[in-house]
Structure 1
Amino acid sequence: MPKIIDNLHEKIFECSLKLFGEYGYNEVNMKRIAKELDIAVGTLYNYYPNKQDLFFTVLKKSWQQTFFKLDKVKETNYSSRKKLKYSIKILYDEIENRKGLGKELTKANVIKKESLDGIKDRLDGIIRNLVEELKKEEKIDIDKEIEERLIRVFFLSVIDMLDKYAKEKENNIKFINYIIDCNFK
């Protein structure tokens, strides 16, 4: 008689999030996840047809939690500048908590590009809206091309700072805030 595992979907998510975050996409396979969960590989395939679908589900679900936090920032009475900086801090914390999973967003060969586009587009839209709000509130005029590059730099800086200066969180956030302050004045 097969064993019944309560909340197996949630356990698969938590285990996969941990393994993908710790080892990255290429170093994790379905067999490893099943072994960690102490289930048969076939059971895992009953839930997900392949590693790519499982990875994207984990990635998407973990980012939904981040988007919820970022949406809450929009509802605050903070100044636009503070909202932008606080959102960058949330992104930093969230990517840091995901460990390697956050960096997978920048790797084009991991999963289908269209699978990542929704996440990247939503992040881009959030940052873009905060920048527009800041420009309007503080009456800042900035070249559109520079603005586009800055929006990209904010997200990529978080990933790069976590990679290069992993143990310097306070300085990393301070640096990104410096970029904001230098370019939006």
Structure 2
Amino acid sequence: MPKIISNVDITIKNCAMELFSELSYTNVDMRMISKKSGVAVGTLYNYYKNKKQLYLAILKESWKNTFEKLDIINQATVSYKEKLRKFISILYEDIEGRNGLGKALLDKSILELKDDKEIDELKNSLLLRLENLFSGYEKPEHLSKCSSIDIRLAECLLVSTLTMLELHPNDKENNINFLVEFISLSVKNNVKGDKV
């Protein structure tokens, strides 16, 4: 009698995410996911035609949740510093929760994922939310002459978050405080007289 697994798709995604986080995308194959999830390889292929499709489904689902939280913060009517702190905290905690899974947005070394349209869309969606956070705030004069300053600030924050997680994994609060101050130095609040 075949083993019955409830919530097969959720089981597949959870097991695959653990493997991708632990071993990296490159070192995982569909047989490993099958073994860990207890789902037959043939059944696994009924849900996802290949490893890349499964990986992208996990990545998109996890970032969708992050984007919803970031959108709520972007729409909040709070001081810039408070909005920045909440935004960075959510971004940091969600990236941390993915255990490195989100590095694919910046990692061009995985040939199978390099220049993938879906990964580019995720990256652009994240950068757009970051740009929205930074837009409307006066930049210091020496930076305001730079083209695409908001996108560069967004990229700096994303890379800095990944760096803090990697180099200082057990210092979450100090990492978040550093990132808030780092970005605060780059922008001046120009809304409702708030001071950064």
TM-score in terms of structure 1 length: 0.89
Counterpart of 1:31 in structure 2 is: 31
- C-alpha distance in 2 between matches for 1:33 and 1:132: 42
1:110-131: CA deviations, max 9, x gaps?
Answer: 3142221111101110010110
Structure 1 position 77 matched with structure 2 position 77:
yes
Which has more helix, going by share of residues? 1
Aligned residue number for residue 191 of structure 2: none
Report the AA paired with residue 123 of structure 1.
Answer: L
Q: Which moved more, 1:12-21 or 1:156-165?
A: 12-21
SS of equivalent to 1:10 = helix
Q: Give me the whole-angstrom Cα distance separating, in 1, the residues matched to 2:46 and 2:26.
A: 22
The yes-or-no answer on 1:164 pairing with 2:167 is: yes
Within a 5 Å distance, the mapping from 1:1-185 to structure 2 comes to 2-110=2-110, 111-113=113-115, 114-135=117-138, 142-145=144-147, 146-185=149-188
CA contact (8 A) 2:135 2:150 kept: no
Q: Judge conservation of contact 2:30–2:41 (CA < 8 Å) in 1.
A: yes
Per-residue deviation, 1:140: 6.2
Contact 2:12-2:39 within 8 A present in 1 as well:
no
Deviations 1:76-103 (A, max 9, x none): 2212332233212111100101102022
| RMSD, matched Cα | 1.9
Q: Specify every segment of 5 or more residues in structure 1 that has no aligned partner in the other structure, as ranges.
A: none
Aligned pairs, how many? 182
Percentage of matched positions with identical amino acids: 40
The gaps in structure 2 that reach 5 residues or longer are: 189-196
Q: Please tell me whether the aligned partners of residues 70 and 87 of structure 2 are also in contact (alpha carbons under 8 angstroms).
A: yes
| Cα separation, 2, equivalents of 1:168 and 1:61 | 27
Please give the alpha-carbon distance, in whole angstroms, between the structure 1 residues aligned to 2:152 and 2:75.
Answer: 26
- Residues in 2 aligned to 1:48 and 1:6: alpha-carbon distance in whole angstroms: 17
